């Protein structure tokens, strides 16, 4: 996230691709406050943006969009907190970007379903690689397809 994803999202903001009020919610097992996550993101942008791309005012605007929830893909920990945060913007488009190993794609998809985080405006993005081979990729696609409908 710090090397590629956060800079890519920052570039989207710089290009005016976010509508207000866009929120970006980071989630992992680490225990961080919203402010700690915002500082992590600011530090990551300072380190990984190309020379001249870091704009203090834009970084401040970008990090003000950031929120954080500690969740565990293999347990119930944090999922109700994520639901509460997402429910503050029920009608917004939700994009779940799974920047995780393929071994937990299914677990996360099922948690998203079980905690009723899917709306008609929900999208999922799965980072490659998807599986170890064709058979495991097909299995993962089928599992994710049971939770999210393909358009």
The pLDDT, as a whole number, for residue 145 is: 80
- In terms of domains, do 3 and 65 share one? yes
Q: CB of 17 within 8 A of CB of 59?
A: no
Q: Is residue 78 part of a domain?
A: no
- In terms of domains, do 8 and 61 share one? yes
Q: CB of 45 within 8 A of CB of 2?
A: no
CA dihedral 26, 77, 130, 119 (to 10 degrees): -70
Q: CB of 117 within 8 A of CB of 82?
A: yes
- In terms of domains, do 139 and 95 share one? yes
- In terms of domains, do 149 and 103 share one? yes
- In terms of domains, do 53 and 98 share one? no
Number of domains in the chain: 2
CATH number, position 33: 3.40.50.720
- In terms of domains, do 61 and 99 share one? no
- Provide the domain limits for residue 142: 91-151
Q: Quote the CA–CA distance of 25 and 16 in Å, as a whole number.
A: 19
pLDDT digit string (tens) for the chain, length 151 residues: 788 999 999 999 999 998 888 999 999 999 999 999 999 999 999 999 998 999 999 999 999 999 999 999 999 999 999 999 998 877 788 899 988 888 888 899 999 999 999 988 888 888 777 778 888 888 888 878 878 777 6
pTM of structure: 0.85
Q: Quote the CA–CA distance of 141 and 106 in Å, as a whole number.
A: 9
The pLDDT, as a whole number, for residue 151 is: 66
């Amino acid at each position: 996230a710090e090397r590629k994803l956060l800079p890519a999202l920052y570039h989207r903001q710089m290009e005016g691709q976010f509508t207000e009020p866009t929120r970006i919610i980071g989630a992992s097992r680490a225990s961080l406050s919203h402010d700690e996550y915002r500082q992590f993101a600011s530090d990551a942008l300072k380190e990984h943006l190309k020379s001249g791309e870091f704009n203090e005012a834009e970084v401040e605007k970008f990090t003000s969009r950031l929120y954080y929830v500690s969740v565990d893909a293999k347990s119930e920990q944090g999922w109700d907190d994520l639901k509460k945060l997402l429910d503050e913007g029920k009608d917004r488009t939700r994009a779940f970007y799974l920047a995780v190993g393929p071994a937990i794609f299914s677990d996360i998809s099922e948690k998203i379903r079980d905690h009723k985080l899917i709306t008609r405006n929900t999208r999922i993005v799965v980072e490659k690689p998807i599986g170890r081979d064709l058979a495991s990729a097909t299995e993962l696609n089928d599992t994710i397809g049971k939770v999210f409908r393909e358009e």
